Structure 1
Amino acid sequence: MAIQTVLIAALLAVKGSAFALRTRSTNSTQPSVVDATYDGQCFYPKPAEDFDLSSYLGRWYQVAGTVAPFTAGCKCIRADYSLNANGTVNVLNGCELGGQEIKIQGTATAVPSSAGYGDEGVLIVQFPGQPAPDCPGPNYIVQDIGVGNGTEGCGGDASSDGAFAIVQSSKFSTLFLLSRQQSPSNTSIQAWLQRAGKLGSNLTEVVLTDQTGCQFA
């Protein structure tokens, strides 16, 4: 399977494919162009160049993102990542709905660099009883990691209390903005969402996560 690196414009209709990919720009007169990988079936965001799995493990709080079926209507969304003995990553997602705690556990498997999607930060996450991803490549791609108010870009320590991570899926269809802090400043959240938009995320479907009054996190 040949993997191609391409530039995606604001509205790209691919002949013979079943979808159109949209990315956004802060300038309405200038189409957003982002770097992406195409494997003949789907487009994939480019991952952060300095992703380190060991420092990425632990708890992250979803402070904004597109609504996923598991978290629809939820508050206090979080994810805990830990290393399994076989080298895969245990994924434990949790949230609160109507005063009840909801959990779902799955496995993340790193996609080898030889597959052509990137060297690190590209994984396939699967949950029991859930359908397999539509695309053959990674469905969990860490696009950027940093600290502070989002202006520094990648290069931050993912284990830092002030760290943020931008996570996207194949076809740029699902954004998760994660933070090590449960309630970072709105200024930081907005700065990182703006950065996610520049990296190809469609922010019209993004909502902020209520991380107040959490009973289980």
Structure 2
Amino acid sequence: MEVVKGIDLARYMGRWYEIASFPSRFQPKNGTNTRATYTLKDDGTVNVLNETWSDGKRGFIEGTAYKADPKSDEAKLKVRFYVPPFLPVFPVTGDYWVLYLDDDYQYALIGQPSRNYLWILCRQNHLDEETYNKLVEKAKEEGYDVTKLKKTTHTNPPPETEDAPADTKGVWWLKSILGR
């Protein structure tokens, strides 16, 4: 699988909106306004904050990303989350491979070697159809079954974290694992 080489991690940091993805058990089925915020840490690892809104409440999980092979110039990262998030006991690690990234770092195609997960990300919460179709075609060329892609619903303007009621039940991670 071809991945991006020579990624500038500092430029990649910031907020990315999920435009489309393969549905997974790690995200609520009715999630909207799904996004990820990446922050580079002093040790070279990346803080990952994934957020989604479900039934009007904000659910989130934080993790860490790091280069799979620090000596390689390929954009192959590992992402680790701990579940349950309030009692970090069980590490869950996955692959995060940047398959395509435009020159301006405005949109990206993210996948992993098993081809079970795929994300189309953008700096804005919308993406024009031409660019979207280009990314879908790239995924298809890499062997993904793009019929599984589901577009993510977003509101305008996107919600702000500070204004959102939290999922106070503390079971978003569990609902995500169960696929609800």
Same fold (TM over 0.5): yes
Aligned match of 1:132: 92
Query: How far is 1:164 from its partner?
Result: 1.2
Aligned match of 1:87: 44
8 Å Cα contact 1:61-1:179 kept in structure 2: yes
1:87-139 deviation line (CA, Å, top 9, x unaligned): 1100000011010011110000112255xxx5231111011115534xxxx61
Q: How does 1:93-132 map to 2 (within 5 A)?
A: 93-112=50-69, 114=71, 118-129=72-83, 131-132=91-92
**Mapped pair 1:59 → 2:15:** yes
Q: Note closer, same or farther for the CA distance 1:199–1:170 as it changes in structure 2 (3 Å cut).
A: closer
DSSP-derived class of the 1:55 partner? helix
Query: How far is 1:204 from its partner?
Result: 1.9
DSSP-derived class of the 2:43 partner? coil
1:64 maps to amino acid: A
Aligned match of 1:157: 104
Measure the CA separation in 2 of the matches of 1:178 and 1:84. Answer: 22
Measure the CA separation in 2 of the matches of 1:216 and 1:192. Answer: 27
Q: Unaligned 5+ residue runs, structure 2?
A: 84-89, 162-180
Aligned match of 1:210: 153
Aligned-residue sequence identity (percent) comes to: 29
Greater alpha carbon shift after TM alignment, 74-83 vs 63-72 = 63-72
Measure the CA separation in 2 of the matches of 1:86 and 1:66. Answer: 31
Measure the CA separation in 2 of the matches of 1:79 and 1:203. Answer: 22
1:1-35 deviation line (CA, Å, top 9, x unaligned): xxxxxxxxxxxxxxxxxxxxxxxxxxxxxxxxxxx
Q: Unaligned 5+ residue runs, structure 1?
A: 1-44, 147-155
Give the TM-score taking structure 2 as reference length.
0.77
Measure the CA separation in 2 of the matches of 1:113 and 1:52. Answer: 13
When Rg is computed on C-alpha atoms for both structures, the one with the higher figure is 1
RMSD after superposition: 1.9
8 Å Cα contact 1:140-1:170 kept in structure 2: no
DSSP-derived class of the 2:98 partner? strand
1:67 maps to amino acid: P
1:171 maps to amino acid: S
1:216 maps to amino acid: E
**Mapped pair 1:76 → 2:30:** no
DSSP-derived class of the 2:147 partner? helix
